[in-house]
Amino acid sequence: MCREHHIIINSFQLDSGDESGDIEVACCLYGSAEKPVVAVLGGISASRWAMDCPQVNQKGWWQDVLSQVASSSLADCCFLTFEYFSFAEKRVNPPVISTADQAVLLNKIQNQLKLPRFHAVIGSSYGGMVALSFASKYPDALLNLVCIAAADHNSVKSQALRQIQRSIIELGQTYGKDSQDRKNFVSLARSLAMVGYRGEIEFEQRFQSPIPGAALAEVDSYLNFHGQRFADAFSLSRYLQLSQSIDFHQVNVSSIKANTLLIGITSDQLIPIEFIEQMGQKIGANCQISWIDSIYGHDGFLLEAEQLNQLFNTFFREDSHDYFERNHRCASGY
């Protein structure tokens, strides 16, 4: 069962010192909120539709992963998802939106919907950054933290790649003749991002051809398809704001109290495994680190459903009864 909510969050102060203004945020609860609640956070392109919702004809971006939790201790949970905040076209020269600002939004959703302390917050990619910020800023608001393909800060190389993407988009703002032309610049920027998201081995295997130029033509078609699909759904302004949000991400993880599982992907070019190892040493709470071997690079968080669920099963099996009981006894406000 999927229940969609549209709630108004009163203006709050952003990390930048600016005011957010009142925000209407869309979120979904999958299952009964009487059960332990798990917040699920994905990449910048993720929506509130993490699971399939047939009543509104929506496909879930993490359906392959979440559909397998029926065999784990997460099977008896309610999942919460929400749309990330951005100013989009509402402001000229909008302030930077930080992952900590997204964490504040999640906390306000938690309180406004009168949800109990989260049984877990599971975040991947950008959502992993938000999850780390949430666990650091509100250490008593969750019992378990799972962070996938994210760290407490981002590499300079990944920031450089995103800066090139934003420069492409800014060229579109300046020289785009019409809305479709500007979309083409967003598509090109997203195509560059896709090269970083995917693993080198996958590209070599998927686009192998003995014919000169054939592999290049195939990969160009592949990147163009995904770029155009993204551009159809994502505004130029929103892309710029959330991309910049990643580069400004920095969180002090030493205040995290939640039982923590960090998951890295060995072929991830954006989040080096040493970043995750170093972060794990800074977390004072119980912290486990696991690796996924995948040809898919950073996008393994979307595609390695079986490996992820094996890790979930092991992590949530430990003392799960005690965690569930404490969750039920805890009212909103902790």
Catalytic residues: 125, 268, 298
Tokens representing residue 307 in the block: 């490996």
DSSP for residue 95: P
Tokens representing residue 30 in the block: 């999958």
Tokens 């032309």 map to which residue? 181
Do residues 334 and 117 touch, judged by C-beta distance below 8 A? yes
Distance CA 241, CA 95 (A): 9
| Alpha helices (runs of H) in the chain, residue ranges in sequence order | 63-66, 99-112, 126-137, 156-175, 179-197, 200-206, 214-233, 236-247, 273-282, 300-303, 305-317, 320-329
Farthest CA pair distance, the chain: 65
Distance CA 61, CA 47 (A): 8
3-state helix, strand, coil in the chain (%, to 5): 50, 20, 35
CB atoms within 10 A of CB 325: 11
Report the relative pairing of strands 287-292 and 23-30 from DSSP bridges: unpaired
Nearest CA-CA partner of 23 in 93, 94, 109, 141: 109
CB atoms within 10 A of CB 235: 15
Distance CA 268, CA 286 (A): 25
Tokens representing residue 204 in the block: 């070599």
Tokens 């890790």 map to which residue? 311
